[in-house]
Amino acid sequence: MMTKPNFYITTPIYYPSDNLHIGHAYTTVAADSMARFKRLTGHDVWFLTGSDEHGQKIERAAKNKNQTPKEYVDHIVDGFKRLWERLDVSYNDFIRTTDERHRKVVQQFFNTLYEQGDIYKSAYEGWYCTPCETFFTEYQLADGKCPDCQREVEKVREESYFFRQSKYAERWLKFIEENPDFIQPVSRRNEMVSFVNQGLEDLCVSRTTFDWGIQVPFDPKHVVYVWVDALTNYISALGYGTEDEELYRKFWPADIHLVGKDIVRFHTIIWPIMLMALNLPLPKKVIGHGWLLLDSGKMSKSKGNVVDPHVLVDKYGVDAVRYFLLRELPFGSDGVYSEEALVKRINTDLANDYGNLLARSSTMMEKYQQGVLQTPGVPEGPDTELIDLATKTPVLVQEYMEKCEISNALAAIWQMVGRANKYLEETAPWTLAKNGQTERLNTVLYNVAEIIRFATVMATPFMPNLPSRVWPQLGIEDKPELHTWESLTWAKLPGDTTVKRGEVLFPRIDLKSLEV
RNA sequence: CGCGGGAUAGAGCAGUUGGUAGCUCGUCGGGCUCAUAACCCGAAGGUCGAGGGUUCAAGUCCCUCUCCCGCAACCA
């Protein structure tokens, strides 16, 4: 038996200082659709997500609620998981930085780096705002004052451990030169290269001013600080350094770390350098996607304009919300969210083009053929063009997905759907029926049914609930062999399939109803 | 003068090596009647940010200017 190729994809681990918004949902749904696509096309997939639970912010937030940090994060992380379930996110594992399995690996890494001299003790100099109990760097200060409360800050020195990342700058630059595709999109890579060219400083990797974190094994008053803790999740979750390293051996290095553009730097510089220092293989690719912006600017809690994904799912359904997110953000660029844009997408693409294609054609099949398809005759006229397009589209979609261009992949599928609607006008089956041109009628309706099957198979990774609603209408719910990627060869659909007109897939939404 | 990217129809974007400016949505007109007032066809609408230059020919190359946006280190 042939072994499947492996594919390992990750999302960032989100910080549970608050509930997640639609932006986080975008990242995770995008990763999910990649994971589902790879599974559909015959890969052995490992899809990881999780939560980054340590730090002063969490410690303080818990205190405000009179909870232990652990109680506090448990609650929020439950919310993360509920959201992912709601959005049909098919993760294989959920790593929490408070997991025991994670702690061990972080401590081991810290030890190793320390023993080989890549971590050393020094002092972290910063500015401290006593009322806010927060450290700021020189760069963060606003006019020399606290950026939060505008009061005076004082210079303090804190004993800290540092990671000698500056030592690896040359090696990093060489790596990027040899692996130009490592950072996507290219614009981000250029930013990172110029950042490193400006000179890398060593990285502060421990703190003594709070306790909520992983202890530095050889110096217990220190807690491991941020990135060494957080980034390690990508391999601690695979059981690296434990008695069972099977997943690690199988899936590392990761194929894709999918991250938002705000954390590209940490994933493309700190993480690879850490791995270099540890002599471990580097991930193959880091993709920094854009943000979903609001008309009113960036989404932020302080602006009170955060969009809750639960509300959207309640209102419009999972598949529609997923489709919108995946279709609306071109690769690497920002997209704009507005409820109007969402509804427009649902109406034009899902209701008018795709849903209506199924509705109109299934009606004709019932009306003119008693619901039973017939074997198609010899292709003529526009048939060839339609069939050609259907044959090419899966290849195109696969190419786009290889480049992680999800939006383009969807556009390609919908181009085929659009062609099918046009095909119906060209062939006018209602006229064929009237004139008793049965053979031609059979061919036309068969071709459209087959197009719908193609579109639905290809759309599955993006809208996982679609197939279970479409297959019964197409009469192939009991034929799993017709639901696979491999089945996307023309005319696989049996000639005697029984079609049954069913529910409207995506009802049109009245835009005016939004203005209430 | 920190590095880099933009400025193209009402909106959002494509425009390879320079040779009659395209796509999606929206608007208007027509067609069809199988369909979720859906679908198909057609039209209007752009001095391609401003100015200068190279060229037979520039959105596409060069220079200057204006305006936007990323990155510029320890909040994830």
How far apart (Å, rounded) are the C-alpha atoms in residues A135 and A508? 52
CA A291 to chain centre: 12
Identify the H or E element spanning A313: helix A309-316
Binding-site residues from annotation of A for Zn(2+) = 129, 132, 146, 149
**Closest residue to B13 by CA to C1' distance?**
A330
Rounded CA–C1' distance between A329 and B24, in angstroms: 14
Question: A355-375: per-residue pLDDT in tens?
Answer: 999 999 999 999 999 999 999
Mean of the pLDDT values across residues A416-432? 97
**Closest residue to B2 by CA to C1' distance?**
A198
Instruction: Kindly tell me the burial class for residue A72, based on how many C-beta atoms sit within 10 Å of its own C-beta (0-12, 13-18, 19 or more).
Output: buried
pLDDT at residue A516, rounded to an integer: 42
How far apart (Å, rounded) are the C-alpha atoms in residues A503 and A516? 28
Neighbours of A131 (CB within 10 A): 11
Mean of the pLDDT values across residues A21-29? 93
- The answer to which of A100-109, A135-144, A191-200, A506-515 has the lowest mean pLDDT is A135-144
Mean of the pLDDT values across residues A78-84? 96
pLDDT at residue A153, rounded to an integer: 76
Instruction: Kindly tell me the burial class for residue A170, based on how many C-beta atoms sit within 10 Å of its own C-beta (0-12, 13-18, 19 or more).
Output: exposed
Whether the predicted pLDDT of A392 surpasses 70: yes
Question: A319-342: per-residue pLDDT in tens?
Answer: 999 999 999 988 888 888 888 899
Tell me which of A251 and A21 has the higher pLDDT. A251
Q: Which nucleotide is nearest to A137 (CA to C1')?
A: B74
Rounded CA–C1' distance between A307 and B6, in angstroms: 28
Whether the predicted pLDDT of A281 surpasses 90: yes
pLDDT at residue A514, rounded to an integer: 66
Binding-site residues from annotation of A = 129, 132, 146, 149
pLDDT at residue A270, rounded to an integer: 97
Rounded CA–C1' distance between A425 and B42, in angstroms: 15
Q: Which nucleotide is nearest to A503 (CA to C1')?
A: B36
Whether the predicted pLDDT of A122 surpasses 50: yes
pLDDT at residue A396, rounded to an integer: 94
Enter the DSSP assignment of A156: E
Rounded CA–C1' distance between A141 and B72, in angstroms: 15
Q: Which nucleotide is nearest to A359 (CA to C1')?
A: B35
Confidence of residue A166 (pLDDT cuts 50, 70, 90): very high
Question: A172-190: per-residue pLDDT in tens?
Answer: 999 999 999 999 998 999 9
Chain B: bases < 7 Å from a protein Cβ: 2-5, 12-14, 24-26, 31-41, 70-76
Confidence of residue A205 (pLDDT cuts 50, 70, 90): very high
pLDDT at residue A128, rounded to an integer: 77
Rounded CA–C1' distance between A273 and B73, in angstroms: 15
Whether the predicted pLDDT of A162 surpasses 80: yes
- Reported as half-sphere exposure (CB side, CA atoms, 13 A), residue A68 has a value of 4
Whether the predicted pLDDT of A513 surpasses 60: yes
A229 with A106: CB under 8 angstroms?
A: yes
Whose tokens are 């990649």? That residue is A34
Rounded CA–C1' distance between A342 and B66, in angstroms: 35
Whether the predicted pLDDT of A303 surpasses 70: no
Q: Which nucleotide is nearest to A330 (CA to C1')?
A: B13
Tell me which of A149 and A497 has the higher pLDDT. A497
Q: Which nucleotide is nearest to A350 (CA to C1')?
A: B36
Q: Which nucleotide is nearest to A17 (CA to C1')?
A: B76
pLDDT at residue A302, rounded to an integer: 57
Question: Among A454, A459, A501, A499, which Cα is nearest to A476's?
Answer: A499
Rounded CA–C1' distance between A105 and B59, in angstroms: 55
pLDDT at residue A30, rounded to an integer: 96
Q: Catalogue all structural domains in chain A, each as residue range(s) with its CATH number.
A: 347-487 (1.10.730.10)
Rounded CA–C1' distance between A145 and B32, in angstroms: 70
pTM of this structure? 0.94
Q: Which nucleotide is nearest to A16 (CA to C1')?
A: B76
Whether the predicted pLDDT of A237 surpasses 50: yes
DSSP for A6-65? Answer: EEEEEEEEEPTTS---HHHHHHHHHHHHHHHHHHHTT-EEEEEEEE---SHHHHHHHHHT
Rounded CA–C1' distance between A455 and B62, in angstroms: 48
Instruction: Kindly tell me the burial class for residue A46, based on how many C-beta atoms sit within 10 Å of its own C-beta (0-12, 13-18, 19 or more).
Output: buried
Rounded CA–C1' distance between A190 and B2, in angstroms: 15
Residues whose CB is less than 8 angstroms from the CB of residue A437 and which lie 6 or more positions away in sequence, other chains included: none
Q: Which nucleotide is nearest to A225 (CA to C1')?
A: B74
Q: Across chain A, what does the average pLDDT equal?
A: 92
